[in-house]
Structure 1
Amino acid sequence: MSINESPRPDLEETSELPVIVICHCHYEEVVDELICVLDRVPDTAQIYVTSSNPLVLSAFKSRWKRCKVSLDVLATENKGRDVLPFLRVLALLKLPDDLPILKIHGKRSLYSPSGEKWRRDLLNELIPSEAGVQKIVNEFGNSPKLAMIGASGSYVSDLGYWGSNQRRVFKFIRSAGSEPASVDLGFYAGTMFWIRSQCANSILSNVDLDQFEKERGQRDGTYGHVLERAIPMMLRSQGWSLREIGDDTELFPNKVRHRKLTYF
């Protein structure tokens, strides 16, 4: 059953606000690694795994052993990589405001020899331990204007990281009601992050799902690359704040203008 046809998963009833985890996995060989990382989430977590690979989905279902943490799998088409499946799940869940959502994926950067390390570094920072996850969740509770939290060092604003995406990013930001002249490049490279639910929903309401291209191994210029940049930029333009793990100060593009990623 495709995610488009799946019934909406019900949020588990709990005395605490649930932590929502949306994980996309394309490669069966990283399933065990992802399960090991996901096992660090608190019992209030609800996990949704998407994939176009039925072997990945069956592996998650058979290997997940946390009876107190629900894990649902949803089949997707091989399109939009980790971004389109994330948006599809958001559309199904119709989450209320102020829930922390973790977006992760089984990234394998086939054009970088450091791709495996990049994935592990991002995952280990975003889900460091159960106590570490609770600390991140508390940041959202204590800071009502906090929109997103990314791994340390993942927020970049060097103008070279525009790639071929600037025109489409500005078009998206205009469609969302902001002026491109008022925004500056700044985004979480790798597209893994924590995000407040109403911020994620506001992105969903402005996205054109038909803009996602068919998968052809593209390295730049896709709608997914556009949204990777546009999501934090749009939220900043609307008055939301951004942070990185381990730093409770607000992120600004000018603070990290000369930061370079070491993974490629």
Structure 2
Amino acid sequence: MTDPGVPVVIVHVHYADVWADMAREIATAFDRPFGLVITCRDDGIALAEVRSPHLVFARRLRTENRGRDVLPFLHALREMGDGFELGLKLHTKRSKHRADGEDWRRYMMDSLLGGEGGTPAALRLMERDHELGLVAPLAHLLPLEGRIALNRRAMRRVADRMDIPLDFEELTRKRFAAGSMFWFRRKALRPFAKTVLDDLFPKEKGQLDGTAAHAVERLFALVCERSGYWVTAAEALPDLLAAPQLDAATRTALTESAVARTSNPFALPISRFWGRHPYLLLAAHHAYVRTPRPVWRIARQLLRRFTLDR
């Protein structure tokens, strides 16, 4: 095993062609030692190499195609154990249900890998402040309010398994790292490595919400905070790095200020519609799982046009 001080990039690769682009981006982002762990459903799939003289190790773990990128990440956390301290969680996000899925992935990756001197800015801050547990992508530390309805039951199951008390009224005032990509401190996510959640993840059927993967995505930041660490987003990094010292009040003020003035260009008007009408969202979800896919695609296009007009 390598030096625990070497950051590790953990990537779930579902789309090999997307990974080829990501491998090049990762190679150019680091001018210092780093490690790589790839989770993939099939050992036989040919994957692009990360061609960098700074790559000190590369490891590939075979994982079942279940739980999207989340369950493979939990497997990687358990497999790596205490062999590293800081990590970057990525995945070959394509979001085929959206026309801008590729742009969305690049937007998040650019904000997480961006920095000066061959060290991503998020990594610089995490090495400076050992109480920082997670850094979300630019404009992706989003409110949980309006994003719990379909995931309440799954979040409860995951939290109960991990012995984490959940107050859903309190959760509506919290934020989560949307998109499931972020820098993290291993100790901040240790509860996920200590708990086996595999049986809570259903088989993949193209679910858009309401699964254990969506529940865990909404709990990553909360678990960090419950573990005694703080959470921020990429838009706050310049101010945080420029601050002469970071006490709790300064961290909160700079993070909240940066998040408040940064809009997410990938948030659809329909998302705001669902946030205002959670019961309609529940009804639409049940209709989705029972409706033939061609019919649902037409209905979704009509609904999106309706909400855009409003």
**Residue 51 (structure 2) aligns with:** 65
Map 1:94-243 → 2, pairs under 5 A: 94-95=81-82, 99-129=85-115, 131=117, 133-157=119-143, 159-174=145-160, 175-180=162-167, 182-183=170-171, 184-243=173-232
**Residue 92 (structure 1) aligns with:** 79
Deviation digits for residues 144-167 of structure 1 (CA, Å, limit 9, x no counterpart): 221100112001115222240023
Q: Which runs of 5+ in 2 are unaligned?
A: 241-250, 269-310
Q: TM-score, normalised by structure 2?
A: 0.71
Q: Which moved more, 1:168-177 or 1:157-166?
A: 168-177
**Residue 4 (structure 1) aligns with:** none
Contact 1:50-1:85 at 8 Å conserved across structures: yes
Contact 1:19-1:46 at 8 Å conserved across structures: yes
Deviation digits for residues 1-41 of structure 1 (CA, Å, limit 9, x no counterpart): xxxxxxxxxx224xx81001100111122122111111022
RMSD: 2.7
Deviation digits for residues 166-189 of structure 1 (CA, Å, limit 9, x no counterpart): 233244335433342544442111
Q: 1:55 to 1:65 in 2, by over 3 A?
A: same
Q: Greater relative contact order: 1 or 2 (C-alpha under 8 angstroms, separation 6 or more)?
A: 1
Q: Which moved more, 1:105-114 or 1:73-82?
A: 73-82
Q: TM-score, normalised by structure 1?
A: 0.82
- Quick one: percent identity of the two aligned structures? 24
Question: How far apart in 1 are the matches of 2:159 and 2:118?
Answer: 33
Q: Which moved more, 1:197-206 or 1:32-41?
A: 197-206
Question: How far apart in 2 are the matches of 1:223 and 1:28?
Answer: 25
Question: How far apart in 2 are the matches of 1:142 and 1:162?
Answer: 33
Q: 1:165 to 1:140 in 2, by over 3 A?
A: same
Q: 1:260 to 1:176 in 2, by over 3 A?
A: farther
Q: Which runs of 5+ in 1 are unaligned?
A: 1-10
Identify the structure with the greater helix proportion: 2
Q: 1:232 to 1:38 in 2, by over 3 A?
A: same
Are 2:21 and 1:33 aligned? yes
Deviation digits for residues 188-216 of structure 1 (CA, Å, limit 9, x no counterpart): 11100001011122222245221111111
Question: How far apart in 2 are the matches of 1:73 and 1:96?
Answer: 15
Are 2:266 and 1:262 aligned? yes
Contact 1:24-1:51 at 8 Å conserved across structures: yes
Which one has the largest radius of gyration?
A: 2
SS in structure 2 at match of 1:35: helix
Contact 2:66-2:203 at 8 Å conserved across structures: yes
2:233 equivalent among 244, 254, 260: 244
Contact 1:157-1:187 at 8 Å conserved across structures: yes
Q: Counterpart of 2:176 in structure 1: which amino acid?
A: F
